Amino acid sequence: MSTSESRVFLIPLDTSETDDRTAFSLETVLAHRAYHLMEAFSDSELVGVKLPYIEDKNQLNADLTILKALVNSLRKAGKNPFVCDTSSRHIDKKANAVEHMEIYHRKGISYETAGASFAMLDGISGGYEFVDTSPVDKSKVFLAGELPNIDGLIIFSTPSPSGSSCCKGSIFNMGIGLASRKGKIQLYSKSGPQVNAKQCYLCRKCIYICPCGAISRGEKHVIINYDKCINCGKCVDLTRFGGISYKWDTSRDEFMRKMHLNARSVQNLMGKRLLFCHLIKKSHYSGDIPCNSEEFSFKQAVLVSRDPVAIDQATMDLFSEDPGFDPGFNSESLDQAVEMGLGKRKFKLIPIAY
């Protein structure tokens, strides 16, 4: 393998296989010394398994067999694993950690099924954050507050071909899924909260809750001073009748850039203590997943890599024959990810079957 290539391990899964067989295959690959995957956590102790990021947690599709296999692999390697996620906040959806965890329980995610405890990395309301300086352009980046306190992460994603938007793989899960609430808001809104004059009843609660004194009382509605506003979203969360809301006006290019800045900051913070895992399921396809090896044809698979760009590129290549997949945005996104130093697009796909 060329040193200019990153390795992406592919584990084909037969839909008729038992959960035990699937778990055995993944755990064997992760533990194999020749693959050096668990070396990402050689000096780590507290390692999280990050759930796939999705705004509507009711649509979460975290395969419990894969999730528990990842947890078991960490435990067998002498680590202290836990399952983790962050709160949702954009496109007028907001929720707290308690609501999220109730959904996770309904989805079957518990200590018994996952094999580990659960933690929200951004606190009860998503406001617990770590403010970092981007290694790319020195701008402020707002990440989940617990990130500096953990020793490593397995980023578990369930990407799908999704038209002209990103495929929601590892870079998406890092860049959006590990941002704080404020970090998520700034991904989607560049103009900040907007006062809806007809729906503001001058209750003045937003004036008192604003942490930077950016809101004042006007004659018929409150007024926001954008020179002071830090775009934290507290006023929007408070209003009951839509008196203040967001204008989701970030352009596609700006969204892409901010997502990559966030992901690069996570990578810079965690160093080599990151591992990336994709579950590609049959339900995303009209037929078998194409593969560059004629020996392998399958309907679902697990991909594992230490390079987020390489695993996203491999996933894109596997999606390429799906009629609903538009590679345009994703190809541009990966080009920018390479420019920011997130990883390599060149990869060697290594199919493994047990």
Q: Write out pLDDT tens, residues 289-317.
A: 555 544 555 678 899 999 999 999 998 88
Q: Which pLDDT does position 288 carry in this prediction?
A: 52
Residue 233 in tokens: 């979203």
Average pLDDT over residues 219-247: 87
Q: Which pLDDT does position 300 carry in this prediction?
A: 82
Does the domain made of 192-246 have the CATH classification 3.40.190.10? no
Q: Tell which wins on pLDDT, 165 or 308.
A: 308
* Burial zone of 106 (CB within 10 Å; 0-12 exposed, 13-18 middle, 19+ buried): exposed
Q: What is the percent of the chain where pLDDT is above 90?
A: 49
Residue 110 pLDDT exceeds 80: yes
Range scoring the smallest mean pLDDT among 73-87, 225-239, 260-274: 225-239
Pick from 348, 40, 308: which is nearest to 167 by CA? Answer: 308
Q: Tell which wins on pLDDT, 234 or 274.
A: 274
Residue 15 pLDDT exceeds 60: no
Q: Which pLDDT does position 285 carry in this prediction?
A: 47
DSSP per-residue string spanning 191-202: S-EEE-GGG---
Average pLDDT over residues 91-111: 79
Q: Which pLDDT does position 2 carry in this prediction?
A: 57
Q: If you average pLDDT over every residue of the chain, what do you get?
A: 85
Residue 248 in tokens: 């989701």
Which regions of the chain carry the CATH code 3.40.50.11440?
6-186+251-351
Average pLDDT over residues 242-268: 91
What does each C-alpha distance from 124 to 96, 210, 239 come to in angstroms?
A: 6, 18, 19
Range scoring the smallest mean pLDDT among 61-75, 95-109, 148-162: 95-109
Please tell me the pTM assigned to this model: 0.88
Q: Which pLDDT does position 284 carry in this prediction?
A: 46
Does the domain made of 6-186+251-351 have the CATH classification 3.40.50.11440? yes
Pick from 131, 142, 38, 134: which is nearest to 87 by CA? Answer: 142
Pick from 189, 159, 182: which is nearest to 86 by CA? Answer: 182
Average pLDDT over residues 229-238: 84
Q: Are 238 and 248 contacting, i.e. CB atoms less than 8 angstroms apart?
A: no
In the structure, what pLDDT confidence band is assigned to residue 233 with cuts at 50, 70 and 90? confident
In the structure, what pLDDT confidence band is assigned to residue 171 with cuts at 50, 70 and 90? very high
Residues in the chain: 354
Q: Which pLDDT does position 17 carry in this prediction?
A: 60
Q: Which pLDDT does position 353 carry in this prediction?
A: 74
Q: Are 262 and 170 contacting, i.e. CB atoms less than 8 angstroms apart?
A: no
Residue 239 pLDDT exceeds 90: no
Range scoring the smallest mean pLDDT among 50-59, 69-78, 252-261: 50-59
Residue 280 pLDDT exceeds 80: yes
Average pLDDT over residues 76-84: 94
